[in-house]
Structure 1
Amino acid sequence: MNLTTPKALARLAGLLYLLLALLGGWAELGGRGSLVVAGDAARTAANIAGNESLFRLTMVADILMATVFVALGLVLHRLLHHVSERAATALLVFVSVGAGSILVNLTFQAGALVTATQPGHPAELVLLFCTLHQQGYVLGGVFFGLWLLPAGYLAYRTPMLPSVLGVLLMAGAAAWVADPLLAFGLPDAPEVIRTLVEVPTTVAELGLLAYLLIRGVRTPQGVDLPGA
């Protein structure tokens, strides 16, 4: 792949974005989701102790996800920095902080693993570590949202991407930030509200992922795209 062209950089960004989604989705839903039982400390501790390798693999997936996230930020910065250096730098900063929060949050999962695999472990402490990790995931959504704001601005400003995609990304950014605000500020709110808040984010991110993978970037007639 010739990475000196915008289209190649865009496709690479799409591949990294897809890998990011697969790693994060499997770790949170397919891995931990099958082991951690909300409200049941004994079963959670037993599941982790009996499936130590799987639990460790979810940590590996999150470490790789954080690494891929930074790589995605670097590629998008390279692709779009000519549109606005400040916005592209803000994107990279938010991505880096978001990736760092993923790694810091893994401390709680490591604590759950160490506790669950010790003889005579307190099951309640295992569940507490898992709960703190889950809450940290929600809080980390702030930076998963903030990086979409400069990304949306850049997409709106450049002729390489549809302006409507930029608007969707900025709306998705607001939704990402709104989710932890609802989770901690209005914990008794109906679950359907948080589900509805997730819709703009899902549409925006899937739209960006699909566009980068399938189209790459567009080349409007009469517009010279900068080289990488």
Structure 2
Amino acid sequence: MTNRITETSPRIFAKVAGFGLLLMAMHAMFANFFVLEGLIIPGDAATTANNIIANDLLFRSGIISFIIVLLLDVVVAWALYIILIPVNKNLSLLAAWLRLIYTAIFGIAIYHFLNVLELLSGADYLTVFETDELHAQVMLSINAFSNIWLIGLIFFGLHLLVVGYLAFKSGYMPRILGVVLMVACFGYLIDSFAHFLLSNYTDYEAIFLLIVAVPGVIGELFLAFWLLFKGRSNLLTLNSESYRIR
């Protein structure tokens, strides 16, 4: 019975991580590109607030999708930790902690969207703020979400760097996957620091988006599909003793 569990464990971890990454991608795309891009108008607080009020359920659905992503991040961090133990247990643990730190910061960022809901749904706030002030408070909370998330993405980028290095050194994962993940790390780092350093970031926003999106999407989807379709069999060739948690 013990042998059967240790033999199937790598397959289970690969499935968990692969499906988790794909589900995260779907929910993140919905929340980012369908909800946020459709409702939030940069520099126009009044229109943004009115859009959210008129599409309250959609906005709430976006928050739920982000929370699902947050929960899946924890699951994926655990699964990748198990999968990468045979390469280097300490670095695998570091990668997991970096992703968990990112997840905690992301959770703090999501809280600011809950604050937006309170501002726009609480009648008592109208007695405290004038309409313009209320809209400005909403936009401040939305900007706080973005800025805090950017800080979190620095840790996420470092997580990809460690995972990419471990994939490159593993011998059972494609080296090109490791390279793409490490490149994606620098994409996240460059974009996050550019937000904070460049006062005219918006002038180059499209370029930075490509720097982040292309290697990031390719790397994470590559990892997800490898885990689902190739990783399950590759991981079973490893010594099952490597997967015993001590």
Q: Normalising by structure 2, what TM-score?
A: 0.83
**Structure 1 position 192, deviation (Å):** 4.0
Cα deviation digits, residues 111-153 of structure 1 (max 9, x gap):
1111112333511211221122122222221122111111112
Asked whether the 8 Å contact 1:87–1:153 carries over to 2, the reply is no
Secondary structure of 1:147's aligned partner: helix
Match of 1:165 in 2: 177
What's the Cα RMSD here? 2.1
Could you tell me how far apart the structure 2 residues matched to 1:113 and 1:21 are? 25
In structure 1, the gaps of 5 or more residues are none
Asked whether the 8 Å contact 1:23–1:62 carries over to 2, the reply is yes
Identity among equivalent positions (%) equals: 28
Match of 1:56 in 2: 60
Secondary structure of 1:96's aligned partner: helix
Could you tell me how far apart the structure 2 residues matched to 1:110 and 1:55 are? 10
In structure 2, the gaps of 5 or more residues are none
Q: 2:225 aligns with which of 198, 205, 210?
A: 210
Asked whether the 8 Å contact 2:22–2:221 carries over to 1, the reply is no
Match of 2:188 in 1: 176
Moved more, 72-81 or 26-35: 26-35
Could you tell me how far apart the structure 1 residues matched to 2:11 and 2:169 are? 17
Match of 2:209 in 1: 195
**Structure 1 position 69, deviation (Å):** 0.5
Could you tell me how far apart the structure 2 residues matched to 1:32 and 1:116 are? 16
**Structure 1 position 224, deviation (Å):** 4.3
**Structure 1 position 191, deviation (Å):** 2.6
Q: 2:51 aligns with which of 47, 50, 57?
A: 47
Secondary structure of 1:4's aligned partner: helix
Could you tell me how far apart the structure 2 residues matched to 1:134 and 1:175 are? 17
Match of 2:41 in 1: 37
Q: Compared with structure 1, are the counterparts of its residues 187 and 204 closer, same or farther at alpha carbon in structure 2 (3 Å cutoff)? A: farther
Q: Compared with structure 1, are the counterparts of its residues 174 and 12 closer, same or farther at alpha carbon in structure 2 (3 Å cutoff)? A: same
Match of 1:66 in 2: 70
Moved more, 41-50 or 190-199: 190-199
Amino acid of the structure 1 residue aligned with 2:209: T
Tell me which protein shows more helix as a share of its residues: 2
Moved more, 91-100 or 48-57: 48-57
Alignment of 1:1-228 (within 5 A): 4-119=8-123, 120=126, 122-189=134-201, 190-198=204-212, 199-217=214-232, 219=234, 224-227=237-240, 228=243
Equivalent residues, number: 225
